[in-house]
């Protein structure tokens, strides 16, 4: 992964044991026996005299060797540390924690959710390949799929509707099916088992954007057939609107035998040389080593700290969101309310199957005069973010979805009167009182 090994020739990849595998996180397999709440605070924290409680921040661009031979060994194997664009101990510790929380085998942490999405797609697609994505996507993902990836010869079909629509869009060159665990803002829940089955039948992998699934807390898609999870750590993982990051996590059972990126070259192919570690190896090589979308160590520290309280925050936020959705549904001054935890939402049955801890912290509702409503809020804050400890609202029609064609906006559940709310940890009664006076 260092400069001598970026050309991807067989001799340079001839150390399968050097692939970043679980060995980099020896505690991860033990951690999977822990509950989410325990793993979130215990994973990766060393024990012993003078050890820090929490991850130390390694503010370093490079790491030392004591001999020429040590440096040569590292440049051949990439097993350890050399240059922080590729790996940093603080970032690595965060990766181990996310791997444990998502139930994966390896995580690559990157500078943003966008970096994670791009890296995940490019890890299995190249020019001539095809992606099928469900249409109710985060705007940045739609942008990458429809504006950026075509520059590299990768085509995307956006489908609206469930697994049947995805099946109809599959082609022989389809390498990836992409969906959001809980879509924003419409709240559609991915039918993981159905999507995994048809992706795998078509020789493709299933990637889930688990941002709204809260880093594995509401749902860990890898346990339900997904092959990889990408997410923005900017939202619930960081949790305080103070840091940006993203991650790609791979599961153990993905099958790359039908993807030429991994099989070209026969005995010298990526798959032959790196085995089950090939996918994460390529993600680190692409996202961090080559494209330089590296997560800063201070950001990794803040995100790791955020993960320690994610279960407390998102559990409470999800309960508050349900209470608010029920209250708003019965409110005479409020139009349609969309929240997957409400029985009238099309995804309600999937909530029972995949989201036992709640349907998440995001809901939308329709008001008569969104401009007047937003001008009056005093607790709610107007900001285009999700997963903050503070309740945030936006008017998607004029902001987050403002550039999308009108019909597509409406199809995504965004109307001129729609308010999107990401519920924070404030007291329910205070939130209700603020909304009431603003209505």
Ligand X SMILES: *Cc1c(COP(=O)(O)O)cnc(C)c1O
Positions touching ligand X (CB under 6 A) are 112-114, 138, 140-141, 180, 184, 209, 211-212, 232, 234-235, 244, 246, 386
Q: Which is nearer to ligand X, 320 or 400 (CB)?
A: 400
Listed in sequence order, the residues at least 6 apart from 238 whose beta carbon sits closer than 8 Å to its beta carbon are 244, 245, 302, 303, 306, 387
Query: What residues are paired with 159 via a beta bridge?
Result: 134
Question: Are 121 and 144 in contact, with CB atoms under 8 Å apart?
Answer: yes
Cα of 239 vs its chain's centroid, Å = 14
Chain residue whose CB lies nearest ligand X: 113
Least distance in Å: CB of 209 to ligand X?
Answer: 5
Least distance in Å: CB of 230 to ligand X?
Answer: 8
Q: Which is nearer to ligand X, 18 or 314 (CB)?
A: 314
Nearest to 421 by CA among 437, 410, 435, 406: 435
Least distance in Å: CB of 260 to ligand X?
Answer: 28
Cα of 170 vs its chain's centroid, Å = 23
How do 246-250 and 334-338 pair as beta strands? unpaired
Q: Which is nearer to ligand X, 169 or 386 (CB)?
A: 386
Least distance in Å: CB of 181 to ligand X?
Answer: 8
What's the CA gap between 354 and 86, in Å, rounded?
35
Q: What is the DSSP letter of 83?
A: B
Listed in sequence order, the residues at least 6 apart from 355 whose beta carbon sits closer than 8 Å to its beta carbon are 182, 189, 213, 218, 219, 340
Question: Are 366 and 415 in contact, with CB atoms under 8 Å apart?
Answer: yes
What's the CA gap between 307 and 318, in Å, rounded?
16
Q: Which is nearer to ligand X, 5 or 210 (CB)?
A: 210
Least distance in Å: CB of 350 to ligand X?
Answer: 17
Q: Which is nearer to ligand X, 24 or 116 (CB)?
A: 116
Beta strands in 13-135 (DSSP E): 106-110, 130-134
Where residue 225 falls (left for φ over 0; alpha for ψ -120 to 50; beta otherwise) is: left
Q: Which is nearer to ligand X, 19 or 421 (CB)?
A: 421
Q: What is the DSSP letter of 292?
A: -
141 backbone dihedrals φ, ψ, rounded to 5°: -70, -40
Q: Which is nearer to ligand X, 155 or 209 (CB)?
A: 209
Q: Which is nearer to ligand X, 244 or 350 (CB)?
A: 244
Question: Are 102 and 222 in contact, with CB atoms under 8 Å apart?
Answer: yes
Per-position b or e across 238-265, b if 16+ CB within 10 A of its CB: bbebebbbbbbbbbeebebeebebbeeb
Q: Which is nearer to ligand X, 140 or 275 (CB)?
A: 140
Least distance in Å: CB of 295 to ligand X?
Answer: 11
Q: Which is nearer to ligand X, 245 or 370 (CB)?
A: 245
Least distance in Å: CB of 198 to ligand X?
Answer: 22
Least distance in Å: CB of 182 to ligand X?
Answer: 8
Least distance in Å: CB of 138 to ligand X?
Answer: 4
Least distance in Å: CB of 207 to ligand X?
Answer: 12
Three-state secondary structure readout of 176-194: EEEEECECCCCCCECCHHH
What's the CA gap between 146 and 175, in Å, rounded?
16
367 backbone dihedrals φ, ψ, rounded to 5°: -120, 160
């Amino acid at each position: 992964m260092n400069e001598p090994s970026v050309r991807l020739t067989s001799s340079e990849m001839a150390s399968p044991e050097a692939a970043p595998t679980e060995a980099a996180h020896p505690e991860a397999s033990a951690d999977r026996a822990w509950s989410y709440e325990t793993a979130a605070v215990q994973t990766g924290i060393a024990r012993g005299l003078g050890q820090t409680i929490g991850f130390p921040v390694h503010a370093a661009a490079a790491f030392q060797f004591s001999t020429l031979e040590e440096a040569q060994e590292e440049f051949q194997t990439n097993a350890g540390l050399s240059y922080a664009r590729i790996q940093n101990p603080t970032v690595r510790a965060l990766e181990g924690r996310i791997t444990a929380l998502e139930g994966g085998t390896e995580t690559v942490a990157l500078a943003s959710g966008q970096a994670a999405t791009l890296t995940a797609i490019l890890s299995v697609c190249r020019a001539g390949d095809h992606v099928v994505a469900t249409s109710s996507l985060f705007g940045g993902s739609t942008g990458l799929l429809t504006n950026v990836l075509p520059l590299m010869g990768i085509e995307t079909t956006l489908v609206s509707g469930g697994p049947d629509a995805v099946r109809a869009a599959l082609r022989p060159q389809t390498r990836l099916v992409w969906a959001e665990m809980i879509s924003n803002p419409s709240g559609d829940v991915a039918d993981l088992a159905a999507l995994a089955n048809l992706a795998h039948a078509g020789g493709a992998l299933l990637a889930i954007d688990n941002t709204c699934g809260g880093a594995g807390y509401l749902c860990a898609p890898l346990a339900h057939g997904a092959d990889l999870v990408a997410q923005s750590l900017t939202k619930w993982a960081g949790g305080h609107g103070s840091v940006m990051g993203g991650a790609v996590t791979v599961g153990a059972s993905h099958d790359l035998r039908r993807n030429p990126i991994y099989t070209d070259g026969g005995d010298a192919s990526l798959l032959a040389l790196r085995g089950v570690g090939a996918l994460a190896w390529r993600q680190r090589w692409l996202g961090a080593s080559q494209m330089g979308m590296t997560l800063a160590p201070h950001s990794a520290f803040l995100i790791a700290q955020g993960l320690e309280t994610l279960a407390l925050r998102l559990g409470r936020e999800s309960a508050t969101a349900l209470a608010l959705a029920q209250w708003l549904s019965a409110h005479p001054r409020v139009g349609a309310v969309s929240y997957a935890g409400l029985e009238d939402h099309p995804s309600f049955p999937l909530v029972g199957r995949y989201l036992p801890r709640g349907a998440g912290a995001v809901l939308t509702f329709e008001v008569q005069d969104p401009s007047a409503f937003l001008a009056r809020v005093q607790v709610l804050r107007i900001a285009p973010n999700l997963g903050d400890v503070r309740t945030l609202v936006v008017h998607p029609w004029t902001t987050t979805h403002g550039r999308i064609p009108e019909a597509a906006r409406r199809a995504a559940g965004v109307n001129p009167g729609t308010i999107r709310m990401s519920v924070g940890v404030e007291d329910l009664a205070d939130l209700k009182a603020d909304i009431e006076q603003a209505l």
